[in-house]
Amino acid sequence: MSTDTETEQKTVQDGPPPRPPVAAVLVDRFRRTTAFQRVESRLEDDDSTRKPIWLRGLAGSSKALFVAGLTKDRTRETVVVVPDLATAEDLKEDVQFLLGRGSVAILPEPGLDPYHARHPKLSLRANRIELLAALSEPGRRNALPACADLRVIIVTAISLITPVPDKSVFARAIHRIKVGESVDLDFVMELLVGDGFQPVHMVSEYGEVSRRGGILDVFSFGRNNPIRIEFDGDEVLSIREFDAYSQRSVETLDEVVLLPIWEWLPGADVIRNVRENPPEGTDPERWDGIVDSLETDGTLEGIEWTLPSLGVHLSMLRDYLGADTITIVDGPTYVRTRQSSWQAELEQAYSMLTVDHAEDPLGGHLGLPPGAPEDLFFFERDVVDLLPTGKRIYVGSGIGPSVGLLPDEGAGEDGDGGDGSNGADRSSGADGSAGAGGSAGARGSVGEDGSVSEGGSAGGRGPAGAPSRNIVHADFKAHARGGPATADRSTKEGRIEARIDESDGSDAGKFSFGTVPPETFGRELDRTRGYLRSLFERTPEMYILCDTEAHRDRLVELLHKLPAEFHVGNLAGGFLMPDEGLAILTDHEIFSRTRRRTPPRRFARGLSIKELLALSTGDFVVHVEHGIGKYIGMNRLVVDGQETDCLSLEYSGGDILYVPVDQLMKVQKYAGGDSAHPQLSKMGGKSWAKTKAKVKKSIKDMAEELIKTYSIRKSRPGFTYSSDTEYQKQLEASFPYDETPDQLRAIEDVKTDMETDHPMDRLICGDVGYGKTEVAIRAAFKAAQDGKQVAILVPTTLLARQHYESFRKRLEGMPVVVDYVSRFRTAKETKEVLEKLELGQIDVLIGTHKILGKGVVFKDLGLLIIDEEQLFGVKAKEKLKKYRETIDCLTLTATPIPRTMHFSLMGGRDMSLILTPPRDRLPIQTEVLEFRDDVIAHALMQEADRGGQSFFVHNRVATIDSMANHISNLVPHLRIAVAHGQMPERTLEGVMRAFLDNEYDVLVSTMIIESGLDLPNVNTIVINRGDTFGLSQLYQLRGRVGRSSRKAYAYLLLPPHRVVTEQAQKRLKAMEEFEDLGSGYQLALRDLEIRGAGDLLGSQQSGFIISVGFELYCSLLEEAVRELKGIQTEEVREPKMVTDIEAFLPDDYVPDPREKINLYKSIADAKSVESLEKIAADLSDRFGKHPEPVRHLLALRRIRVLSADLGVDRAIVKQGMAQLELARDLEKSEVQALVRTVPGQVEFDMHGRHKIRMKSPGPGEAISKALILLNAMEKAR
């Protein structure tokens, strides 16, 4: 047995050279196979240039290895055409592992709904533009990290027929800038804005540009970070990449390539021609407004549907590629079918558009006249006409030398089916599920005309419940993604007429690789071991790829006698080549786990904590001394002779408090949760001081009680569980996902608690879907292994059933019996369960708090797991307190609490926080749209067509039934249910249970779905009046979908023609932009944390949080806990500063008021010289050379920091003098050091408070004299 990783290569001096990375080993091994050698020989035969090659028998990821092997030694790109985006992404993951980052790129379709006025999603836009740029400028790819080593281009069926801009026109929108060049900065700024870049104060997102003097910040596609270009006049001094969060430079570059932010950029000539030729019957004023928008923004939403009216040239991808490009077409039948399906959907949408807007030449909401489908896409072209003229390879379904390709005409020389594989390649299981190669992306209904309706934004749609057949396509699909396999290959109606090549003939080369997928046995480890040992005898060259080093080490331990090679690597699916004696396997298939994916590049940055706490005019603030006020702006005032900026805070009665920026450490942004509306404090009154004192006392009492209870429990004896068993290791190895770091820590915390000799009482805190249930499952299994019973308490009967299903499936095949009690079970069933429980024949029982009642007897209860304790009643909570004293308790909650509060309460409550989102959770595609019937129908039908369910949130009980009727009329063939909190409890549970059982397609409900059920089959949510919800509410609602590996959608509907408040617009924009978990939900998290703190600490403390604000509450809590623990804290007094020297951030240096406050607060909060030096460097990096007022601002803060450390109580730094007044006596050594080392005359005043003084002629000298005195005192200490 041997193990290896890509990153760890052992080198021995004077020994053999280190082994190459496993990816290179696999590619080289595959290239040495007989079949590959034959294909390569055929490709090198010049006489066969126009004769295509047909391949079959490539299972799992063997095609990725074929592609990698083919391109390894070639300088030209290889193009691979696949049916859909899911297939493309799987292939990209595989090829990227084999050839490295930057070696492969996808040209996705724009992902637009037919004739909708929307921009393509940022990630899709970026992928298209980056690839086109790399093909336009092949010599500059080193400046485009995403395509730096581009060798493989993956094209989806629809993107193949989607037009791209003219190559020469597109190339003109690409700008290169090098250090040392002479460039007109004004001209560059004008070009970028013309190319669609948005001018902003601070660049943080793609498509933004900012200019501050001679510094230009820009965030272009093609790079992971924004770029900072510094000019001196017209000369480019430096180019630096900087971090969007910190705004600090991270890397120096010699050259940068700036790409356009839009794919289609009509030039001035095009816009002028459009303006001068309005469609007949168009209102001139409306037309001018549309063209003005086009000219200002460089684009229009939905411009892709109006290209013919612009008169721009539509090119094909082949126009960007060389004539000698090799093209591989995966399943040409399915590629063409996918295109036909898209064409049918477009024609239907275009027909509806022309009917609905028959009187409007501009097509309604699109602005410009829409083009017909045949004018927008290359539908009439045969596949061969869309491809480069180089050599072609056809793989998979329907291949064969024929003019009309039939699914039943592609039988190969071994008599296998028309998918071009060797039978096993199709691998549908006995239960009808797809084996290797089955893909969610390939599912879809096949109509009588042979067209395929697939899931995704571009897929066709038909009536729900209509008869359908599913096709199986084993090629380029992730082996582990199962789907129905009931392809009908015999009907003549399924005929696809698609000419492949004029010269295709019977003498064309056909090759079979003979690969087959491996068998898998899930968690049956003994069968897996036996199978792998027997397989090793047939394929002694066996490689097993594991997603991580931890997985590899775990697998080596479980399969310790298997003489295979274990490596860290990532392929979608394994395969066997019996004739070559070769087996390549993956650990996620061995244990039926989900494949680990490379984290996608983030296209929305999210909010930093600084931005989260940044002040905007109108925000509530808390001044620690004066209470809650409202920030109304910043003013430059003269305070005690010094010109400085001040925050203006409004208090009750209209009183205004001016806070100089050097006192910003006393001001915090108020946070009290979504629903908090604080009252303004009265300046000069005693109420604020009383409120603070009351809150502090209550906090202290609560913390004291927590610590006391904690100490008592720690002193009581409890059951000590044994270390992990072999079964426990098997269970953990079979977890179908990657554990997150937080999840692993939580699991370790629980195990440690259970293996100690006192009762556990731990809180697991984390968002829905972050992996709390898995922590509970492992804890329950550990308890059952030692003969203890487990009770799992849930707040509702529906959750009881859901947890039962989760535990049952996860523990299947393990020696554990799981059951549940619920009022939905019959009396007889319940009686049988309780009898078995008392006899010890049930290990894990799930139910509501009633399972702790008198009629329920456990034989030996050892662990109590409580889900969402805050939802239980008072009596149930009192009962739980008693159990906590004697048995292990584990509490789960989905409402997060902040880490700061976690640390404060350590010693009062054992807590584990799971704040890391699951690695492979797909982003939820979020769109903000006007309420329109076609939008609603499209969203609900799209979900139903792929076998899923939808939520429709309508938060008004009075009108919810009429809304449900309206939806039923829109989609009459869908089954609609209604749920709201005013329904009788049993009726509501009955509806929810039926929805859980897939008896309804759409649930129209109020906010009651905000938390609770985990429904993986619900992947679309439509939220009516999205503008009326708080951000945390929107976040929680959206979190109801996207719980599986299927793409999820959230539609936030606004009332048409109604003005939405600015705050609502910000919330909706945040939801739309920050689709992925963990990036942009910081703001929502803040509100959720406040809610979670209230749940954890009780309703009284929740009220106190609202009364003083969250930040101050957390500070008071930390202070109270430190006092109770006897930790002394020395209060560091801020020395008073008296100065008349100008010290501020000029408006022309930092123009954005919000950013200015951030910087002022950073400077005021700085407690060390090092942190000040860092701030000074950041200012130079971001804004350029410090002007004099900025130098003064930093130096005065430095004086204050040093004074605090040296016991200086008051510093006077004026134009004529520098004086330090001490709060202590000067030491003799300090006086001697000052006299000896300070140049010039130093005056000492020892009467009363000791003072040190030096005279100075000007402000700069006064500052330097004060610093000289302080530095000398510091050295003397």
Q: How confident is the model at residue 18 (pLDDT cuts 50, 70, 90)?
A: low
User: Residue 542 pairs with which residues in a beta bridge?
Assistant: 583
N residues, the chain: 1277
pLDDT exceeds cutoff 70 at 1192: yes
Helices (H), 357-485: 373-376, 383-386
Minimum mean pLDDT range among 405-419, 540-554, 822-836, 1000-1014: 405-419
Whether 13 has a pLDDT exceeding 70, the answer reads no
Question: Any alpha helices (H) in 487-548, and if so which ranges?
Answer: 525-538
Residue 468 confidence (pLDDT): 30
CATH, range 924-1075: 3.40.50.300
* pLDDT range class, residue 663, cuts 50, 70, 90: confident
Distance CA 233, CA 228 (A): 16
pLDDT at 896 over 70: no
For 993, other C-beta atoms within 10 Å of its C-beta total 15
Eight-class DSSP state of 793: E
Smallest CA-to-CA distance from 1172 within 1188, 1157, 1190 is with 1190
Cα four-point dihedral sign 679, 680, 683, 689: positive
* Confidence tier at 895 by pLDDT (50, 70, 90): low
pLDDT tens-digit map of 557-611: 878 778 889 999 889 889 999 999 999 999 888 877 767 766 666 655 444 445 5
pLDDT in tens, 432-472: 333 333 333 333 332 332 222 333 333 333 333 333 322 22
Distance, in Å, from the CA atom of 1057 to the CA atom of 1112, rounded to the nearest integer, reads 42
**Is-same-fold flag (716-894; 924-1075)?**
yes
3-state secondary structure of 1021: strand
DSSP state for residue 658 in the 8-state scheme: E
Higher pLDDT, residue 17 or 621 = 621
Amino acid at 776: A
| Close Cβ partners of 182 (under 8 Å, ≥ 6 residues apart) | 234, 235, 236
- The whole-number pLDDT of residue 920 equals 58
Asked whether residue 1025 carries a pLDDT value surpassing 90, the answer given is yes
Highest mean pLDDT, choosing among 40-54, 230-244, 481-495: 230-244
Can you give the pLDDT at residue 428?
33
User: Measured between alpha carbons, how far is 344 from 350 in angstroms, rounded to an integer?
Assistant: 10
Q: What is the dihedral of CA 16, 22, 25, 29, to 10 degrees?
A: 140
Q: How far is CA 73 from the centre of its chain?
A: 36
Task: List C-alpha distances in Å: 130 to 76, 182, 227, 327, 1014.
Answer: 18, 26, 16, 20, 38
CA separation for the pair 25, 156 (Å, rounded): 29
The arrangement of strands across the sheet holding 198-199 comes to 198-199, 208-212, 215-218, 227-232, 235-242, 249-253
Q: Using alpha carbons only, what angle is made at residue 477 by residues 145 and 1077, rounded to the nearest 5 degrees?
A: 55
Residue 856 has what DSSP assignment? -
Which residues are bridge partners to 208 per DSSP? Answer: 198
Is the distance from CB of 748 to CB of 877 less than 8 angstroms?
A: no
3-class secondary-structure state, position 430: coil
Sign, Cα dihedral of 727, 731, 734, 739: negative
Average pLDDT over residues 274-279: 84
Quick one: pLDDT at residue 444?
Answer: 35
Lowest mean pLDDT among 540-554, 700-714, 994-1008, 1204-1218: 700-714
- Give dist(CA 532, CA 538) in Å, integer: 10
- The one-letter amino acid at 332: P
Between CA 1021 and CA 336 the distance in angstroms is 32
SS3 labels along 971-1011: CCCCCEEEECCCCCHHHHHHHHHHHHCCCCCEEEECHHHCC
Rounded to an integer, the average pLDDT of 1081-1093 is 55
Q: CA angle 358-364-367, nearest 5°?
A: 130
Q: What would the pLDDT profile of 363-387 be if each residue is shown by its tens digit?
A: 566 778 889 999 999 987 777 788 8
Identify the residue whose tokens are 């054992």.
910
1086: confidence class by pLDDT, cuts 50, 70, 90 = low
List of residues 6+ apart from 1098 with CB closer than 8 A? 702
Res 1087 pLDDT > 60:
no
Tokens 């699991």 belong to 747
Contact of 474 with 427, CB cutoff 8 Å:
yes
CATH topology of domain 34-168+311-422+499-515: Rossmann fold (3.40.50)
DSSP string spanning 226-256?
-EEEEEETTEEEEEEEE-TTT--EEEEESEE
| Closest alpha carbon to 1265 in 1252, 1251, 1247, 1250 | 1252
What is the Cα–Cα distance from 532 to 542, expressed in whole angstroms?
9
Q: What is the pLDDT of residue 439?
A: 32
Range 175-258 classified under CATH 3.30.2060.10: yes
- pLDDT exceeds cutoff 70 at 430: no
Fold of 1136-1276: Aspartate Aminotransferase, domain 1 (3.90.1150)
State percent of the chain over pLDDT 70: 81
Question: CA 1081 → CA 598, 612, 1032, 1046, 1074, distances in Å?
Answer: 21, 10, 8, 21, 7
CA angle 752, 754, 757 (to 5 degrees): 100
List, for residues 967-984, the tens digit of each pLDDT value.
999 999 999 999 998 888
| Nearest of 318, 196, 330, 326 to residue 266 by alpha carbon | 196
- Amino acid 29: pLDDT: 94
Where along the chain do its domains lie? Answer: 2-22+518-590, 34-168+311-422+499-515, 175-258, 716-894, 924-1075, 1136-1276
Q: Which CATH number applies to 716-894?
A: 3.40.50.300
Structure tokens at 552: 């590899």
Output the DSSP codes for 1075-1130. -STTTS-HHHHHHHHHHHHHHHH-HHHHHHHHHH-HHHHHHHHHHHHHHHTT----
Kindly report, residue by residue over 669-713, the tens digit of the pLDDT. 887 765 557 889 998 878 898 998 888 888 888 888 777 777 777
Report the distance separating Cα 275 and Cα 433, nearest Å. 57
- Assess whether pLDDT exceeds 80 at residue 1068: no
